[in-house]
């Protein structure tokens, strides 16, 4: 079984652009050449790699090679940077080094709280550009399985084939509402008979956190009316404006500005465990990103339960 770098690059372009024609434009070749390269790659591995739909979609076998193609692109970019950096024609200005492109996935609340400093430090210290795919933490690992990203902040502890998994800690939330919302909808506190009618704010259809918060507040199965606000900052502002109640990261509640006028419905936190899953790739850029993620997670997240329990045990105990 053999496949060329050209074939892998073509497969990546087709999946990125969505059609053979658009991939041909991106690669500066004809659509016929793109089709021939994909056919040759499929014949080489003996599998169908893409579905000829619009847009083109990848099969499970194609996802394996798509991931390999993205890995190849990262390694080539890093090698190019190292070679240029030592070449006689390099002018010595680090700003002129070619940048390694990294695609990653991360949930919105991490981006709004602890993750942006990771990217800022990474950009200061390394010649990279980062494409962040934002989605709910429960589904970001799907992007990793499809080969669309090199790493993902996810709540899924099940390892993706070919990837390493690092437990980061938990992002802590509390269910909150504005004082005026509480006075109107929940004058006696979060009781089931009132919560059944009190509007709830969800991030999007993949937001299972609010349902978890609801079950924690009341045991009875209820279905309150829902409004969707798919942006982290606006989500918190929607709750402050009285549109509904919802779970907000603790770090935002502790902030004198963002946490102002938000009242906890319960003192019991909701902890969402987060993991960093990434390609097991000998890549300086991926290694540097991983180290920064672990470092900042230690400062911005609730420590993993195992670590917390170990720290709490007295010396000599089992």
**What are the tens digits of pLDDT across the range 246-288?**
999 999 888 777 767 899 999 999 999 999 999 887 788 888 9
Q: What is the mean pLDDT of residues 132-145?
A: 81
Identify whether the C-beta of residue 31 lies closer than 8 Å to the C-beta of residue 89.
Answer: no
- Among 159-163, 177-181, 260-264, whose mean pLDDT is lowest? 159-163
Angle (CA) 311 316 318, round 5°:
75
Tokens of 59: 């099969």
Residue pointed to by tokens 């089931």: 192
Mean pLDDT of the 97-117 span: 87
pLDDT value for 314: 30
C-alpha span between 153 and 163 (Å, rounded): 13
- CATH architecture, domain defined by 171-272: 3-Layer(aba) Sandwich (3.40)
Confidence of residue 96 (pLDDT cuts 50, 70, 90): low
User: Coil, strand, or helix at residue 166?
Assistant: strand
Per-residue model confidence as pLDDT tens digits over 11-70: 888 888 899 999 999 899 998 999 999 888 888 887 788 888 888 888 888 888 887 777
- Burial class, 216, CB count within 10 angstroms (exposed 0-12 / middle 13-18 / buried 19+): middle
311 — pLDDT class (breaks 50, 70, 90): very low
Tell me which range, 60-74, 160-174, 302-316, is most confidently predicted by mean pLDDT. Answer: 160-174
The pLDDT of residue 307 is 39
d(CA 201, CA 225): 9
Q: For 218-232, what is the mean pLDDT?
A: 92
pLDDT score for 69: 76
Burial of 146 (0-12, 13-18, 19+ CB in 10 A): middle
CA–CA dist 132, 312 (Å, integer): 36
pLDDT of residue 297: 95
Structure confidence at residue 284 (pLDDT): 83
DSSP letters spanning 123-163: HHHSSEEEEEEE--TTTHHHHHHTTS-SEEEES--SPPTTE
Using the predicted structure, report yes or no on whether residue 304 has a pLDDT greater than 90. Answer: no
Alpha-carbon torsion (294, 298, 302, 308), positive or negative: positive
Write down the domain spans for the chain.
Answer: 171-272
Instruction: Give the Cα-Cα-Cα angle 306, 312, 313 (nearest 5 degrees).
Output: 95
**What are the Cα distances from residue 9, in Å, to 166, 192, 224?**
29, 55, 48
């Amino acid at each position: 079984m053999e496949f060329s770098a050209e074939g892998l690059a073509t497969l990546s372009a087709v999946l990125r652009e969505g059609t053979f024609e658009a991939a041909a434009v991106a690669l500066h070749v004809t659509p016929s050449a793109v089709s021939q390269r994909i056919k040759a790659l499929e014949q080489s591995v003996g599998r169908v790699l893409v579905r000829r739909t619009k847009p083109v979609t990848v099969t499970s076998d194609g996802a394996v090679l798509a991931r390999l193609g993205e890995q190849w692109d990262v390694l080539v970019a890093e090698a190019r940077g190292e070679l240029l950096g030592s070449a006689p024609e390099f002018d010595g200005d680090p700003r002129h080094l070619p940048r390694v492109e990294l695609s990653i996935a991360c949930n919105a609340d991490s981006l709004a709280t602890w993750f942006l400093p990771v990217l800022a430090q990474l950009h200061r210290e390394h010649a990279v550009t980062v494409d962040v795919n934002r989605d709910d933490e429960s589904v970001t690992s799907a992007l990793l399985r499809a080969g669309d990203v090199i790493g993902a902040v996810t709540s899924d502890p099940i390892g993706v084939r070919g990837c390493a998994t690092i437990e980061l800690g938990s992002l802590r939330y509390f269910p909150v509402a504005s004082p005026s919302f509480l006075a109107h909808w929940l004058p006696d506190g979060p009781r089931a008979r009132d919560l059944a009618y009190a509007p709830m704010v969800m991030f999007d259809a993949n937001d299972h956190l609010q349902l978890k918060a609801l079950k924690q507040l009341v045991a009875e199965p209820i279905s309150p009316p829902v409004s969707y606000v798919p942006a982290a900052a606006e989500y918190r502002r929607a709750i402050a404006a009285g549109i509904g109640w919802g779970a907000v990261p603790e770090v935002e509640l502790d902030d004198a500005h963002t946490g102002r006028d938000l009242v906890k419905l319960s003192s019991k936190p909701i902890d969402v465990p987060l993991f960093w899953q990434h390609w097991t790739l000998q890549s300086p850029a991926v290694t540097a990103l991983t180290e920064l993620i672990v470092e900042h997670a230690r400062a911005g997240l609730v420590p993993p339960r195992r670590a917390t329990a170990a720290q709490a045990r007295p010396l000599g105990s089992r």
